[in-house]
Amino acid sequence: MSAPSVPPVSPAPPDLPTLPAPARPMPDRDWVAEAVRRVEADANRSADTHLHVFPLPVEWGIDLYLKDESVHPTGSLKHRLARSLFLYALTSGWLGPDTPVIEASSGSTAVSEAYFARLLGLSFVAVMPACTSPEKIALIEFYGGRCHLIDDPRGIYAESHRLAEETGGHFMDQFTYAERATDWRGNNNIAESIFEQLRLERHPVPRWVVVGAGTGGTSATIGRYVRYRRHDTGLCVVDPDGSAFFEGWSRGDSEVTAVGSRIEGIGRPRVEPSFVPSVVDTMLRVPDAASVAAMRHLLGVTGQRAGGSTGTNLWGALTLVGRMRAAGERGSVVTLICDGGDRYAHTYYDDAWVAAQGLDLAPYARRLAAFTATGTLESGDVR
C-alpha cells in the first residue's frame, strides 16, 4: 500500500506591515459625540431660509426667486458649509477638544467657522487676503476668532498649512472638502430646500438655478441633486472678473490661474478642487461693475440689502430670464442671496471705494432700470 499523499506545506504568510501611529492622538469619542450633538442642535434650532419673489411682468410667464441665505445665524450661505465641514472633520477624527482650527477664507466662511469653533470651545484662525472687508474681520473677532491677513491671496493655502503644522491644528480646507462634506442626495441641503419650497408654485421645477462659485461646493451639491432627482433643471454658474473658474470650465483645464476676484466670496485665482465642472450646464462671466450695479438695483427694487456675490447672481439670473423670454419659454429661475449688505458698507456701497476701483456702474444701472421694458441685458454697452 502506498503512503498517503501529504499536501504541500504553504509558506508562512509574511509579517503584516506595522501601521504608522496617527499624527495626533485620536479624540475622545465622548467629546466627539457631544460636539456633534451641539452642531446638530444648532441646525435644529434654525428655521429654513426664505424664498423671495423678484418682481417681473406677469405676462412674461417667467418667475424669478431669490433664496435668502443671509438669514442664517452667521448671516450667509457659508453657515451651511461651515456646519457640514465641522461635522465632516468631527466624524473623520480630525478634531479634538484642544485642536486649533485653521481656515483659508475671503471672509464669510471664516465668520461661520468662527461661530462653530466657539460653539465647541476651539480656537480659530482665519487666513485671509488683507483686502477683506473690515466688517467681516470684526465679525470673525466677535465670535472669538483671530484674523491672519496676507497681501497675496494666492498664498492663503500655503500659509494655512504652515499654521496648522506649527500649532498642531487642523486646516479645515473648505476649497478641497466643500463638495464632499455636504450630502448632495438630500438631508435638507440647499438644493432639496429650494425644490421643496417651489412645490406649490406655478413652475415648481425651475428651468435654471444660478449660483456663483467660491469653493464650488454649492454648484456641486445642486448639480448632483438635480441629476439624482432627475429634474429637467439647468445649472448656471456665474463668475466675476479675475476668477479662474470660467476659463478653466471653458477650456476643460483645471490648471488655469488668474489674479483673483474683487467680488468677495466667489471667484478664485485657481480652479478649486471642490469645483465639479461636469455638473455645470453653462457659465456666464459677469463684470464687477455689473455685479455692484445689480446688488444696488436689488436694494432699490426689493429693499433687500445684499452683498456683491448676490449682485453677480442677480445679473446672471436676469440674463437667463431675458434669454428665456426671447425664446418664448415659460418657467422659473432661482438664485441666491448669499449674504447681507451690512458687511460691505465700506466697499461695494461706498461710492468713493467704487470710484477708486475704477468701476463705472452707470451703463449697467441703465440696463437694469430698463430691463422690464426691454426684457434683456445683453445689448449696447454691456458684454
d(CA 58, CA 321): 13
**Domains 47-76+185-370 and 78-178 equal at CATH topology level:** yes
Per-residue burial over 274-300, b = 16 or more CB atoms within 10 Å of its CB, e = otherwise: bbbbebbeebbbbbbbbbbbbbbbbee
Domain ranges of the chain: 47-76+185-370, 78-178
Place of cell 485620536: 26
Q: Which residue has the cell 472638502?
A: 177
Please name the residues in contact with 358: beta carbons below 8 A apart, sequence gap of 6 or more: none
Long-range CB contacts (within 8 A, 24+) of 198-203: 198/51, 198/65, 198/332, 198/334, 201/63, 201/65, 201/332, 202/63, 202/332, 203/63, 203/330, 203/331, 203/332
Domain 47-76+185-370 sits in CATH at: 3.40.50.1100
What element of type H or E holds 126?
strand 124-129
Of 231, 179, 178, the C-alpha closest to 206 is 231
* E strand or H helix at 311: helix 308-326
**Triad 288, 291, 297: Cα angle to 5°:** 145
Q: Which architecture, in CATH terms, is 78-178?
A: 3-Layer(aba) Sandwich (3.40)
Q: Which of helix, strand or coil describes residue 85?
A: helix
Rounded Cα distance between 131 and 152, Å, is 10
User: Which amino acid is present at 306?
Assistant: A
The pairing of strands 50-54 and 62-68 is antiparallel
Beta bridge partners of 54: 64
The stretches of 21-107 forming alpha helices (DSSP H) are 29-45, 78-91
pLDDT digits (tens), the chain, 383 positions: 444 444 444 444 455 555 444 456 677 899 999 999 999 999 999 889 999 999 999 999 999 999 999 999 999 999 999 999 999 999 999 999 999 999 998 788 999 999 999 999 999 999 998 888 888 899 999 999 999 999 887 889 999 999 999 999 999 999 999 999 988 886 779 999 999 999 999 999 999 999 999 999 999 999 999 999 999 999 999 999 999 999 999 999 999 999 989 999 999 999 999 999 999 999 999 999 999 999 999 999 999 999 999 999 999 999 999 999 999 999 999 999 999 999 999 999 999 999 999 999 999 999 999 999 999 998 643 33
Which 8-state DSSP code applies to residue 183?
A: -
Residue of 237, 219, 209 whose CA lies nearest to 276 = 219
Chain length of the chain: 383
Cβ atoms within 10 Å, residue 7 = 5
User: How far, in Å, CA of 187 to CA of 40, rounded?
Assistant: 12
| Grid coordinates belonging to 232 | 429637467
- With 0-12 / 13-18 / 19 or more C-beta atoms within 10 angstroms meaning exposed / middle / buried, residue 383 is exposed
How many CA atoms are closer than 13 Å to the CA of 138, on its beta-carbon side?
A: 8
Query: What DSSP string runs through 46-63?
Result: SPPPEEEEEP--GGG-EE
Assigned C-alpha cell, 344: 460691505
